[in-house]
Amino acid sequence: MVEFEQFAVLQRGKDLTRTNFRPGPIPVAGSNGIIGFHDKAIVSGPGVTVGRSGSVGKVTFYPDDFWAHNTALYVKDFKGNHQRFTAYQLDLQKLSRFKTGPRSQLLIEILSEKCQ
């Protein structure tokens, strides 16, 4: 069995308020998928996000560049794994089971502790 940190490295996305969205083709990836579009990407695709608040544990694959919102974690380092394989493996973990209420523990900490 492999510890999570040996499989992938997750990073919290960056805040972008609706009033700061600028017209553009770049998807803004929230915890439950695309929440809007912007003119700048902060993650080069293909990439994967995991919902960290709201839709905790929801895994989404993005084939192209995107903005990872602070309601999601994104895979910063795939550790040599294919992006779609990583998305599939994360989805198999059923990460939504770690949502324990409105004050759930940070998902990134849970992954480090329990996904081994």
The model's pLDDT over 70-93, given as tens digits with 9 standing for 90+, comes to 999 999 999 999 999 999 999 998
The model's pLDDT over 35-62, given as tens digits with 9 standing for 90+, comes to 999 999 999 999 999 998 888 889 999 9
CA distance 29 to 74: 9
Enumerate the β-bridge partners of residue 88.
none
CA distance 4 to 100: 20
CA-CA-CA-CA torsion for 112, 49, 65, 21, nearest 10 degrees?
Answer: -120
| Predicted confidence (pLDDT) at residue 28 exceeds the cutoff of 80 | yes
Tell me what pLDDT residue 53 has: 82
What pTM, to 2 d.p., does this model score? 0.85
Delimit the domains of the chain by residue range: 4-106
Q: The CATH number of 4-106 is which of 3.40.50.880, 3.40.50.2000, 3.40.50.10740, 3.90.220.20?
A: 3.90.220.20
The model's pLDDT over 95-113, given as tens digits with 9 standing for 90+, comes to 887 776 554 456 666 665 5
Q: Do the strands 26-30 and 67-68 form a parallel or antiparallel pair, or are they unpaired? A: parallel
